[in-house]
Structure 1
Amino acid sequence: MGLMDKLKKKKVLQQDLSEKDKNPGSVFVMYLLMKDYCAMPDKGMMTEIMEKHLGEVDCFSHDKGVAGFAPKKYKVEFKEGSMPPELMVMDCIKADKLKLDDIARSQMWDCENSEEILEECKYYVVATDMMADLMENYKDRADMLMDYMEALMEMYPQCEAVLFESSKKMFTRDAIINHQIPRKDRFIYFTVNVRFFNIEGTDDMLVDSLGMSTLYLPDVQYHFHGVDPNWVVNHAYNLLSYIYDNNSPIKSGETIDGVEEGRISQDLQWKCQYEEALIQPAREVLDINMGEYAAGRRD
């Protein structure tokens, strides 16, 4: 498919399908971006805030380098028994190791001043989960992670923005602490990125998502022309919510309602097929064949 260019800046971006979706589902990573170094907050304060958002927790580690919390209402099952997943907060470090390629930087639609933030924030705090990929209910993990995110925003008022490693989506701290998103919709809203590309030298466009693999759910992909891309982006978010709500019920060969004049219509059916992604990282996605608006070839 060659090169792609971004809608607004028209900067040519290089496709690289050698880049893999590394360890999907294993560890969820958030980068809390800071302008200046900040020390690890007090253990008592961190524990109090975690329990406010996540219920009773065990603070099993707290020193200069790392703090660890086990939210007791969640369980991971092992042969030897069950135990809570772990939520880890690392010490603040210099941000010169935070590498983002041009594609990632071009798709931060939810943070208008993303380039300014990335330039000004020279430090970051890494927050992760551990063993949470073994949680039986993926929605429990999603809720836990979003409660964790909100707790971190309270712990770190110095934070300028949060970058989610799995999707390269970014939100300012203000956007997170002031959001009005329903609880069940938070994971997709904050951590799943719906991306848009123009295909260089053609009238073709591509919309895809990135970030669903954290929950072992499929991302989606649309390769098309002749339709307002904003309609397709809205359709993608609706489809992702359906996949999330219903534990990925769509099989290859099945159809879903399409879009006519910006509205979802049962009169227009689009065929679904699991395919290899057209844009990095390499992964299997649910490809949506938009009928007369479809571009490219499908298996």
Structure 2
Amino acid sequence: MREKFGGVEPMAEEPKMPSRSGDLLGFALLDHPGRYEKENRHVPSQLVLMGPDAFDRSLWDEQIVAQFWDCRAQRQAFAEQCRCSIMCSNMMAASLPRQEQYQLIADYAGLILDLFPACIGIYWPHSQKLMPRERMRDTGWNDPALRFLDGGLNVRFFKISGTDEMLFDTLGLTAIGLPDLQCHCKGLDPDDVVLFLRNLAAYLYQRGDVIQDGNTVEGIDHGKWPCRREDAMVGPARTVLDICPGKFAGGGR
């Protein structure tokens, strides 16, 4: 941990939590302090490790499992292999800059794979994304600063029954203070839409919530696609930034 995060000190040993079978371990990151203005002080952010516990399969309904795209055709079989879990999280980190805060989580996820060779995958509850071990090792980004989005961003794909229309959205950005994205379309290559939403999500992750209602973004066809905030078409309930793809738009726009 010190190789990855700099100054690290184990926190006082915690007792077993009454509702859990495992232990809680905490580590203070001395080089990543959060500032608390009311108390006018800095407090080291923390990484915690809880478990092991029996994995709660009720977390995954059919819709969640259907979006485990990194597992490909084996997603149901992979999900059934998950029997035990450990939980990793950060605490006292809310005041850190966004990219620093979530880079800690990305680095921690990589460290967990190093420490636990039996770990077959990592599930990111806020994005409902399950990543097999080998996919976590093979990052989809050239920029290491975007590593968090490997698991922290889930681009979902739905076919609208009885039509030739498709719905794509992201899950994971709302939880970190950014708008998730949505695109209701037809006549486009799904792979192109996924790449488009991934790149736009990366832009928001680096720049912040900078796209306002009425702004346009360059579309797949190099046209200007207008954006507006509206309720998500697929749960969980949240406000998303909907991108209207011009002549490829689906629905009654």
Letter in 2 for 1:66: L
Instruction: Tell me if 1:223 matches 2:184.
Output: yes
Letter in 1 for 2:144: R
CA gap of 1:114–1:70, structure 2 versus 1, over 3 A, is farther
Residue in structure 2 matched with residue 277 of structure 1 by the alignment: 232
Give 1:222 deviation, angstroms: 0.2
Distance 2:199 2:157 in 1: 16
Give 1:296 deviation, angstroms: 2.3
Distance 2:12 2:116 in 1: 18
State the secondary structure of the residue aligned to 1:85: strand
Instruction: Tell me if 1:232 matches 2:179.
Output: no
Give 1:280 deviation, angstroms: 0.4
Aligned residues: 242
Residue in structure 2 matched with residue 111 of structure 1 by the alignment: 71
Q: Equivalent of 2:6, from 38, 55, 60?
A: 55
CA gap of 1:252–1:175, structure 2 versus 1, over 3 A, is same
Residue in structure 2 matched with residue 291 of structure 1 by the alignment: 246
Q: Equivalent of 2:106, from 146, 149, 156?
A: 146
Cα deviation digits, residues 242-264 of structure 1 (max 9, x gap): 1112112111101010112xxxx
CA gap of 1:72–1:214, structure 2 versus 1, over 3 A, is farther
Residue in structure 2 matched with residue 71 of structure 1 by the alignment: 29
Distance 1:88 1:231 in 2: 38
Question: How is 1:154-165 mapped onto 2 (pairs within 5 angstroms)?
Answer: 154-165=114-125
Distance 2:192 2:23 in 1: 46
Cα deviation digits, residues 76-113 of structure 1 (max 9, x gap): 22222110222111021112455201111011111233
- Contact kept, 8 Å, 1:54 with 1:148, in 2: the verdict is no
CA gap of 1:115–1:61, structure 2 versus 1, over 3 A, is farther
Instruction: Tell me if 1:214 matches 2:169.
Output: no
CA gap of 1:103–1:61, structure 2 versus 1, over 3 A, is farther
Distance 2:157 2:144 in 1: 26
State the secondary structure of the residue aligned to 2:162: coil
> Which TM-score applies when normalising by structure 2?
0.89
- Contact kept, 8 Å, 1:66 with 1:90, in 2: the verdict is yes
Structure 2, unaligned runs of 5 or more: 15-21
Distance 2:155 2:147 in 1: 14
State the secondary structure of the residue aligned to 1:91: strand
- CA RMSD between the two structures: 1.7
Whose relative contact order is higher, 1 or 2, with alpha carbons under 8 Å and at least 6 apart?
Answer: 1
Structure 1, unaligned runs of 5 or more: 1-49
Distance 2:109 2:248 in 1: 39
Instruction: Tell me if 1:123 matches 2:123.
Output: no
CA gap of 1:62–1:116, structure 2 versus 1, over 3 A, is farther
Give 1:54 deviation, angstroms: 1.4
Cα deviation digits, residues 224-270 of structure 1 (max 9, x gap): 1122222111110111111112112111101010112xxxx2xx100
> Which TM-score applies when normalising by structure 1?
0.76
| Aligned residues with identical type, % of pairs | 32
Letter in 2 for 1:145: I
Distance 1:170 1:221 in 2: 21
Residue in structure 1 matched with residue 129 of structure 2 by the alignment: 169
Distance 1:236 1:177 in 2: 22
- Contact kept, 8 Å, 1:65 with 1:91, in 2: the verdict is yes
Q: Equivalent of 1:254, from 207, 211, 215?
A: 215
Letter in 2 for 1:272: C
- Contact kept, 8 Å, 1:153 with 1:173, in 2: the verdict is yes
Residue in structure 2 matched with residue 186 of structure 1 by the alignment: 147
Distance 1:224 1:178 in 2: 30
State the secondary structure of the residue aligned to 1:241: helix
